[in-house]
Structure 1
């Protein structure tokens, strides 16, 4: 891998879509507009350094000195930490409008690797410049606070999902989360390509590769999802409310029957 020298934007990991399609459309448009407005203010107030990165590129590594925050204008990222025995653990996912590096503020060093999952545009700002800009742009301070709050809520909900849901519901919740994150950004959510491998999904959800594969097959047999014939990374969700309803049944058995 090559190392390179918001507002509340992402739905909670176990968030549900609105019961009525119209309500979900309004929420999507509102979130997308807030992301666009936040990025516009960041561009105006901070004139961030912009760069294009590609799948596998690393914008910072665990242990690097913290001086900058990064905002995604497009693309997808994963955050990866090393366990005490040297194993990699996917600890977070980031989408357009999300910030990278908040957790490094308290200790002065980054605590994980930030790795691009596909081609993305990253905006980089110096932290000290951000603090100065917030003095003259109160709206910018509100954006930063909201982004921090969103990250806390997202991490909490992700932990709740992993700790409380059985395997099948956990994977369904992940697919729901990914689709809702795309929808909130004005992207197609009923058909999409997973940027993570099944092994990475399992790593993120606390499941084995084999379990993830079996669960995806069961979800497909239940017609909650469908695979593209050419690539099993390409997922179709034919009935979004049905998938959401399954996620809501937190006391569902581990298997689909």
Structure 2
């Protein structure tokens, strides 16, 4: 088993703080992108976080590790993995630039899942007790932490609603739409991107089989809602994100109840 990475790593140069994602576009910052930039600037100025570059497959923490630190993503993508009672791995969350890792461990004092990098990423690590102490003298920092916690709750609720209420086709379409939306909100290219998860991992996250995910993606491509690029079929293009959203809406059995 690959151990989690130690937190005592040398600080990176400030230049390394820029996002590493390859499909960053030159565009005005959205509200989310600006909020992330402001958060990173405040954290860097108040707490001097430990910064490190990690690569696909690197583990930031494992289930059962003692909770002492929170981790803020400055670049890259992460998956959160829990083990079911029979030992099977379950993808329970996905995290993007600007997201925090570790909030769920605050109550119990230990992490309940593994946090694993999906690609090259930059992680900022701060001690939780130091963060709480800094919040006393920096109310804006406390507001940032509360907002991030609230957003995580909402995101997890929305993911559960997708799994519980949508049929398979709409579930996969909603996953792609949400992934594109997360990229766009961060100022990244959203009309064409590379999925960081395998078909099996997508199915695991959405409660579907690998075969079902593959069939749905083929149907979405046939309907010209998405297109594939490259031999791996992980590179996805979305010609019209509004058409994809409308496709999900038409297949949502709760749509008329909103």
Q: CA deviation at 1:2?
A: 5.3
Alpha-carbon RMSD: 1.3
CA contact (8 A) 2:77 2:118 kept: yes
Equivalent in the alignment of 1:111: 112
CA distance in 2, matches of 1:251, 1:130: 41
Equivalent in the alignment of 2:231: 230
Gaps of 5+ in 2: 7-26, 254-258
Q: CA deviation at 1:31?
A: 1.1
Match of 1:134, SS state, is helix
CA contact (8 A) 2:170 2:252 kept: no
Equivalent in the alignment of 2:203: 202
Q: CA deviation at 1:247?
A: 1.4
Note if 1:80 corresponds to 2:81: yes
Q: CA deviation at 1:239?
A: 1.1
Gaps of 5+ in 1: 6-24, 253-257
Q: CA deviation at 1:30?
A: 1.2
Aligned pair count? 232
**Normalised by the size of structure 1, how large is the TM-score?**
0.88
**Normalised by the size of structure 2, how large is the TM-score?**
0.88
CA contact (8 A) 1:55 1:116 kept: yes
CA contact (8 A) 1:164 1:250 kept: no
> Cα–Cα, structure 1 residues 138 and 85, in superposed 2: closer, same or farther, change >3 Å?
same
| Within-5 A mapping of 1:46-195 | 46-195=47-196
Q: CA deviation at 1:231?
A: 2.9
Match of 1:179, SS state, is helix
CA contact (8 A) 2:63 2:111 kept: yes
Match of 2:108, SS state, is coil
Q: Once the two structures are superposed, what CA deviation does each residue of 1:2-24 show, in whole Å capped at 9, x if it has no partner?
A: 5302xxxxxxxxxxxxxxxxxxx
CA contact (8 A) 1:171 1:205 kept: yes
